Chains A and B, each alone.
Chain A
Amino acid sequence: MPVKQPISPGRRRFRQPLWPYLFALPMVLWLLAVFGYPMVKVVQYSFQVVGGKTVRWVGLANYRFILRDPIFWKSLSNNAFLLLAVPILLALSLLFAILLFERIRGWRFYRAVVFLPYVLAPTAVGLAFGYMYQYNGVLNTLLRHLGVAGADWLGKASLVMPSVMSVIIWQQLGFGVVLFLARLMSVPAELYEAARIDGANWWQEHRHITIPQLRLAIEFFAVVEVITMLSWVFNYVYVMTAGGPGFASHVLEYYIYKNAFAFRAMGVASAVAVMLLAVTMVLVVFYFRLRNASQAAEE
């Protein structure tokens, strides 16, 4: 809608102003350089062997290589395993958010405390947990006092991924709690009052009111956490296990890191990145559907 323009009526009314283009230009160029260019290039590199100055097309060789590489499959299955953390996080954050929502004594304090791990540097956190999980570390000492045998939490192939997962859950939980709590506070109180008059118990109340009301927030959190488990766990693995013991705690990011920067196999790393990109695209679709649903709900 054109704004009434008393100063220079002839000049501005009919022509599209230029300034929005100028304002948007740096942003658009920057995004093209940092997202657009690499997303195109990574596909190209995945079909090439990239050397210092030379590139050679090798067709699907990089893809064939990773599909035959047991370490790739190990990494993939570890990321898949980490996805199990998502339902755990959903359940725990819902539970804590609901309990805090009841305005129990000290809820503000608890909210601040549960969110705190989320802001701490994953590198520092990973180092600390690495020590706490050491064979002679705090955790095993505690277990010994309780009369339970300890274990080599990060040194044993079968335990290393659950241990890494525990740290990720520890750090991500607060995000879910705060998100759900914020959303709960905007649920109309009458809904709960009506349910109570109808004689609904705690379980029914949350089953039939809280969860449907929070559906979009829950789905949003689930999508964000799925992305986290697939592509934001490098920090933990790098400082806690360096992918070990053996290859037991390799994840896709670590596999990309090793191939690209330790073995200089940029093509192989790119092929993995392309696969991750494909998965991300699927998630983007989900994300957009959620967003549209949330906008529809607002209107």
Chain B
Amino acid sequence: MSLKARGRALFIQLLMGLMSILSLYPLYFILVTSLKSQREYVYNLWAPPVHPTLANFVEVFLGSKMPKWFVNSLIITVVTVGVSTIVAAMGAYAIARGRFWGHRAVFNTMVGLLVVPPVILVVPMFILMVRVGLINTFSGVIFFYAGLLIPFSVYLLVNFFRTLPEEVFDAALIDGCSPLVMLWRIVMPLAAPALITLIVVNAVWVWNELFIALVFLQKEELRTLMAGLALFQGRYSTNQPLIMAGSLVGLLPALLLYLFGQRYFIRGLTAGSFR
């Protein structure tokens, strides 16, 4: 390598190193701060804790509603993703293979809805939920979330189903498979990679959502983890290490999913795009 090329490579590595530090630092900050006492945080902002303590985590798990909120988030996430995946898979299969009257219009509407932000829908949904008595219930929030996930899910699955070879379907038809059996036994297993991607991306979305969770679940014991965390801060605003411990618990599930299934994330989030 010439001197110039070597200098260039070095410069790029330095640039990437800087980018890595900036990307990772906040996570490091959350981690080390969560292990400090409130007193230590005041004089030791940067370095890892000199006297590491798990007191903040003990407080989070035993002294607060966090465990309850964690379970709430878990229930909402699992049910929402489950329901929306089933509804979206059936719908996508009908669009991709059923070619029913108006399937093109339905699919195009779906693409348009990808762009519609939930803030626009929140007020009428809130009033509706109050009227039908679903405010402050998991069902109400799950209903709303699942609907919001459908356009992206259908979009992704239709595109995937269209790549499956025609013969698979013909063979199953000749065997006399009913459409439901075909979807369940043949299409879904073939679509496993797309489905995993979809489930991962949707689950992280539901887990992280704040606005709707804040407004539709206003009772303390019904809060999701993110809403609880955001409100937690108001109450303990001077106890930074405690809040960082709570935050770490909140972002850990998505972080672990990412560390073990990076490719699913990357595939899922680039799948919505065009070539």
Count the A residues whose beta carbon is within 8 Å of the partner chain — how many? 100
A34 touches B90 (CB 8 A): no
B63-97 with Cβ < 8 A to chain A:
87-88, 90-91, 93-95, 97
- Assess A7 versus B122: contact at CB under 8 Å? Given A24-B98, A37-B128: no
Pick from A16, A39, A138, A266: contact of B101, CB below 8 A.
A16
Asked whether, in the complex, the Cβ of A138 is within 8 Å of the Cβ of B269, the reply is: no
Could you tell me if A121 and B148 are in contact, using CB atoms closer than 8 angstroms?
no
Whether the Cβ atoms of A34 and B147 lie closer than 8 Å is yes
Whether B23 is near chain A, meaning CB under 8 Å from some CB there, is yes
Quick one: which of B246-275 are within 8 Å of A by CB?
247-248, 250-251, 254-255, 257-258, 262, 265-266, 269-270, 273-275
Q: Is the interface of A mostly helix, strand, loop or mixed?
A: helix
Give the CA-CA distance A175 to B201 in the complex, in Å: 13
Given the contacts A3-B173, A31-B113, A127-B233, A24 and B27 also touching, CB distance less than 8 Å: no
A115 vs B36: C-alpha distance when bound (angstroms): 28
Report yes or no: A287 in contact with B176, Cβ–Cβ below 8 A: no
Stretch at the interface among A69-77, A82-90, A129-137: A129-137
Q: Which of A42, A283, A288 has its CB near the most chain B CB atoms (within 10 A)? A: A42
Nearest-neighbor residue (CB-CB) of A256 within chain B: B119
A7 to chain B, nearest CB (A): 6
Cα of A34 to Cα of B94 in the assembled complex, Å: 20
The answer to the question of A263 belonging to the interface, with a C-beta cut-off of 8 Å to chain B, is no
Query: A276 in the interface, Cβ–Cβ < 8 Å?
Result: yes
**With A23-B91, A23-B94, A131-B33 as contacts: A231 and B119 at CB distance below 8 Å:** yes
Q: Which residues does B use to contact A, with CB under 8 Å?
A: 9, 12-13, 15-16, 19-20, 22-24, 26-27, 29-30, 33, 45-46, 87-88, 90-91, 93-95, 97-101, 103, 106, 108-117, 119-128, 143-144, 146-148, 150-151, 154, 170, 173-174, 176, 178-180, 183, 204, 207-208, 210-211, 214-215, 226, 229-230, 233, 240, 243-244, 247-248, 250-251, 254-255, 257-258, 262, 265-266, 269-270, 273-275
Q: List 18 additional A-B contacts (Cβ < 8 Å) besides A30-B146, A115-B262.
A: A17-B179, A20-B97, A24-B94, A33-B143, A35-B113, A38-B122, A42-B123, A45-B124, A104-B16, A116-B24, A116-B27, A120-B255, A124-B248, A127-B233, A130-B233, A217-B273, A227-B115, A261-B215
> A residues near B, CB below 8 A?
3, 5-7, 16-17, 19-21, 23-24, 26-28, 30-31, 33-35, 37-39, 41-42, 45, 50, 96, 99, 102, 104-106, 110, 112-125, 127-132, 137-138, 141, 170, 174-175, 178-179, 182-183, 186, 216-217, 220-221, 223-224, 227, 230-232, 234-235, 238-239, 252-253, 256-257, 260-261, 266, 269-270, 273, 276-277, 280, 283-284, 287-288, 290-291, 294, 297-298
